[in-house]
Amino acid sequence: MTDACPDSLVRFAGLLADAAGDVAQRYFRSGVQAEDKADESPVTIADRTAETAMRTLIERDYPEHGIIGEEHGSVRRDAEWVWVLDPIDGTKAFLTGKPLFGTLIGLLHQGKPVLGVINQPIINDRWVGGAGHPTTLNGIPARTRSAEGGLAGAILQTTAPDMFKDGKYAAFERVVAASKFTHWGGDCYGFGLLASGFIDIAIESSLQLYDWAALAPIIEQAGGSLTDWQGKPLEVRDGSFDVVACGDRRLLPAILDLLNG
């Protein structure tokens, strides 16, 4: 893996975020309708058009790079550099007019996440972090916070209870009971707030690669950690993922005990 993500690719990731953001702004609160995908999750013309805009730029400027996208599939997955795109993470928030969705742009180098962007084009918040590039929010350094009060003083974030399948909600509730309070909703935006020190823990289940590939570099370069529910680093593969993000890594052992208790 490269020691640092090249500056040129960091700048290019910003151009991808700009392109997707232009599409999202155009369709936000415009009354667009959603279709249900095979997994019953919603998708809109904004999702598809935003991903197309990003893929067009990649194919033009870096045709040797691979692409893994939520809406339009994969090409050149075995390339040295692979972009992982979620054009609108939080389509339900987008549909209900809440500016808490975001575009996720991840970059893999030799199968490892080395760069991430969370872009919220309505509020104009953009987190960027990667190998050799400490995390920033709108160009200002972002850091996770120290959880001096331990788990009992920690703020927990998750998107929705229906993501916890196969009895996993009971495990999640044990962490809820042990933490200070839980905030619901936020999708990727909540992970950005964790990277900026406003939230201590984010726990999610049933994620796909495009849901977390951008998050890992951002959180890690801000001082936090992103692992599976066993505390292991997330591996790039197909299938679903259960993830735990901690702003203060010292919280992780207690969280894992509760999730696996």
Lowest average pLDDT, out of 26-40, 141-155, 226-240, goes to 26-40
Domain end, chosen from 100, 119, 141, is at 141
Give yes or no: residues 126 and 16 share one domain. Answer: yes
Domain-embedded: residue 146: no
Average pLDDT over residues 3-8: 94
Domain end, chosen from 141, 164, 195, is at 141
- Global pTM reads 0.96
Average pLDDT over residues 65-85: 97
Q: Which residue bears the tokens 């692409």?
A: 67
Q: 3-state secondary structure string, the chain?
A: CCCCCCHHHHHHHHHHHHHHHHHHHHHCCCCCCCEECCCCCEECHHHHHHHHHHHHHHHHHCCCCEEEECCCEEECCCCCEEEEEEEEECHHHHHCCCCCCEEEEEEEECCEEEEEEEEECCCCEEEEEECCEEEEECCEECCCCCCCCCHHHCEEEECCHHHCCCCHHHHHHHHHHHCCEEEECCHHHHHHHHHCCCCCEEEEEEECHHHHCCHHHHHHHCCCEEEECCCCECCCCCCCEEEEEECCHHHHHHHHHHHCC
Give yes or no: residues 127 and 184 share one domain. Answer: no
Domain end, chosen from 141, 160, 183, is at 141
Amino acid at 232: K
Average pLDDT over residues 233-259: 97
Domain-embedded: residue 95: yes
Domain-embedded: residue 67: yes
Give yes or no: residues 97 and 177 share one domain. Answer: no
Give yes or no: residues 115 and 190 share one domain. Answer: no
The answer to whether 186 and 157 are in contact (CB under 8 A) is yes
Average pLDDT over residues 91-118: 97
Give yes or no: residues 156 and 119 share one domain. Answer: no
Average pLDDT over residues 45-59: 97
Which CATH number goes with the domain that contains 135? 3.30.540.10
Angle at which helix 7-27 crosses helix 45-61, to 10 degrees, equals 150
Higher pLDDT, residue 150 or 42 = 150
Is pLDDT of 1 > 60?
no
Give yes or no: residues 16 and 135 share one domain. Answer: yes
Domain-embedded: residue 2: no
Integer Cα distance of 239 and 209 in angstroms: 8
Give yes or no: residues 136 and 158 share one domain. Answer: no
The region, left, alpha or beta by phi > 0 then psi within -120 to 50, assigned to residue 197 is left
Q: How many CB atoms lie within 10 A of CB 237?
A: 8
pLDDT band at 36 (very low <50, low <70, confident <90, very high): confident
157-190 pLDDT tens trace: 999 999 999 889 999 999 999 999 999 998 999 9
Domain-embedded: residue 1: no
Give yes or no: residues 136 and 175 share one domain. Answer: no
Give yes or no: residues 131 and 194 share one domain. Answer: no
Average pLDDT over residues 193-222: 98
pLDDT of residue 2: 52
Give yes or no: residues 69 and 156 share one domain. Answer: no
The answer to whether 50 and 94 are in contact (CB under 8 A) is no
Average pLDDT over residues 27-43: 87
Give yes or no: residues 135 and 187 share one domain. Answer: no
Give yes or no: residues 136 and 170 share one domain. Answer: no
Is pLDDT of 40 > 70?
no
108-146 pLDDT tens trace: 999 999 999 999 999 999 999 999 999 999 999 999 999
pLDDT of residue 167: 87
Integer Cα distance of 97 and 111 in angstroms: 35
The answer to whether 189 and 214 are in contact (CB under 8 A) is no
The domain tally of the chain equals 2
- Residues spanned by the domain of 231: 151-259
